[in-house]
Amino acid sequence: MNIKLDENFGSLRVATLLRLAGHDLATVREQGLISTHDEELIDICRSENRCLVTIDRGFGNRLKYNPSHYPGIIVIRLPSRPIFEDYRTVTETLIGWTGSSRYDW
């Protein structure tokens, strides 16, 4: 899967786990896109054919970001004070979900 990790979720450990799982991964940080406006970022994801993975709940607004217009938007919900284990669990879940058929869940 082609994925772009938003700056708010794109730690080196998360990126490494996704790459080891075989995903084509780009990060906002690596591409110098930190603080890019949401509309511009999602347009970049669309042009790169990448699914955005973020904790920015604004991307969950289906009226503003209609899922049918993008390769994918995954909004992660973490505890208010996440620890590494929270990130690892979410990343492993994401790897399991993206590695399966869309119809297996």
pLDDT digits (tens, 9 = 90+) for 12-66: 888 988 999 899 999 999 999 999 999 999 999 999 999 999 999 999 999 999 9
Separation in Å, CA 33 to CA 1, 20, 30, 48, 70: 21, 23, 8, 14, 19
pTM of the entire structure? 0.86
Q: How far apart are CA 19 and CA 43, in angstroms?
A: 23
Q: Where are the domains of the chain?
A: 2-96
For residue 23, the one-letter residue type is H
Q: Which residue has the higher pLDDT, 4 or 11?
A: 4
| Cα end-to-end distance, the chain, whole Å | 16
